[in-house]
Structure 1
Amino acid sequence: MAKYIALLRGINVSGQKLIKMDALRTSLSKLKYENIQTYIQSGNIIFESSETDQRKLEDQIHQNIQDSFGFDVPVIVRSQAEWRTTFNNNPFVNDRNEDITKLYVTLLSDEPKSENFEVLLNFRDWPEEMILKGQNLYIFYTMGAGTSKLDLNTIERKLKVQGTSRNWKTTTKLMQMLDD
């Protein structure tokens, strides 16, 4: 059995798409996943599965949530090794040692085209810094994420791929949980 992390986009935000984590774990257990854990209410799921096709896992979880809760929720699945790579390759941590309270990673469904990343870089009129590494967009919100105009909807629209973002504290905790 391999370990995976599933990241849900847009649940339990502003009273929308409410899903209790215990109900989610129960629902996902019907998919024959094992050692299912969740972290906080924003849709972070660690589980084990014998399935090796991550797109199939994404589809299974997506359909399960739609059937069980009635919500269309985008799902991104990463293997334990992929999450470790995401964690270990943050240039704002490794190269610059920036304040981790201002660091986020947006996990993308696919690697965006370089011209779309250029569109995002050229569109911005904000002070945030972004570095794209494959399917990971590392963001340094220099003034804090709460005041930024750079939101996930803008990122998705400009890159033309789906994504979900996590702050660095959550990213670190999920790495610890995957390693336990």
Structure 2
Amino acid sequence: MRILPRDRRPHPLSARVLGPALVHGTARKSHMRYLALLRGINVGGHKIIPMAKLRGIFEEAGYTDVATYIQSGNVVFSSPAKSVTSVRAAVESALRTALGYDVPALIRTAKEMEAVVNRNPFAEEHAKGRTKMYVAFLERGASKQEMEALLAAQVKGMRFHAGTAEVYCLLDAKFTGNDSPFSNTLLEKLLGQRATTRNWATTTTLLTLMNP
């Protein structure tokens, strides 16, 4: 197992969350590991989905080694499929069938998540402990014009940086709750595409779960 620095290790996770296959290290090595980042569930009392039910939906769809992390819609799983596009279509179809409404899903491979973590442009600054950091995962890479619009929306204490198919956001720690100038809604409006945002601690923990 790859050892991460202490501040990137996940919280203790039980077999109830991970599932027995992951706890005992028996994830199928011939399968691809994927992360589904679901948008808009368990937010403000809307589209409430218990994690046990969510894991069950993925297992019923034929995925293995299914694990969820916290309530914001993060599902790690294994599949023999090699196409992110086909996996996304299958995941969204399974969710629609089980729940009766659409749940947008963004899919990332373990390699893609490792790149997101390793290419953090704000790593040194965030390590000083006076900032909050987020990663907005996008449907596609932002164009030059879209990033120009996003950068123009920056205010003092807020910085953006474009990744491959994500945007990093660094905020001063002084911003709390409703006074934060950053939101997923702002990103979607300026970039003209769907996005779903995770804080840095969640992002690094998800990478750890993808490499049991």
Task: Mark yes or no: TM-score above 0.5.
Answer: yes
Q: Distance in 2 between matches of 1:150 and 1:96?
A: 16
Shift of 1:141: 1.4
Instruction: Give the Cα–Cα distance (whole angstroms) in 1 for the partners of residues 68 and 206 of structure 2.
Output: 9
> Which residues of structure 1 form unaligned runs of 5+?
none
- Rounded to whole Å, the distance in 2 between the matches of 1:115 and 1:18 is 36
Deviations 1:111-169, CA, capped at 9 Å, x for gaps: 11110110111134453111101211010111336221221111011111211100011
Structure 2 residue aligned with 1:162 = 194
Matches within 5 A, 1:110-129: 110-125=140-155, 127-129=157-159
Aligned-residue sequence identity (percent) comes to 31
Separation in structure 2 between the aligned mates of residue 66 and residue 101 of structure 1, nearest angstrom: 38
Say which one has the larger Rg. 2
- Does residue 144 of structure 1 match 2:144? no
Q: Work out whether residues 154 and 160 of structure 2, in 8 Å CA contact, stay in contact via their aligned partners in 1.
A: no
C-alpha contact 2:131 2:170 (8 A) present in aligned 1: no
Shift of 1:72: 1.6
CA–CA distance in structure 2, aligned partners of residues 81 and 149 of structure 1: 31
Q: How many residues align?
A: 180
Alignment deviations for residues 38-91 of structure 1 (CA, whole Å, 9 cap, x no partner): 001111000000111111111111121111112321100000000000011111
Give the conservation status (yes or no) of the 8 Å contact 1:5–1:45: yes
Query: Quick check: 15-24 or 136-145, which moved more?
Result: 136-145
CA shift, 1:30, in A, is 1.9
What amino acid is the match of 2:148? E
Contact 1:116–1:159, Cα closer than 8 Å, also in 2? yes
User: TM-score w.r.t. structure 2 length?
Assistant: 0.80
Query: 2-side partners of 1:100 and 1:93: how far apart?
Result: 12
Work out whether 1:45 is the aligned partner of 2:75.
yes
Match of 1:73 in 2: 103
Aligned Cα RMSD in Å? 1.7
Which residue identity lines up with residue 170 of structure 1 in the other structure? Answer: T
2:211 pairs with 1:179: yes
Q: Which amino acid aligns with 1:50?
A: P
Gaps of 5+ in 2: 1-30
- Distance in 2 of aligned mates of 1:82 and 1:62: 20
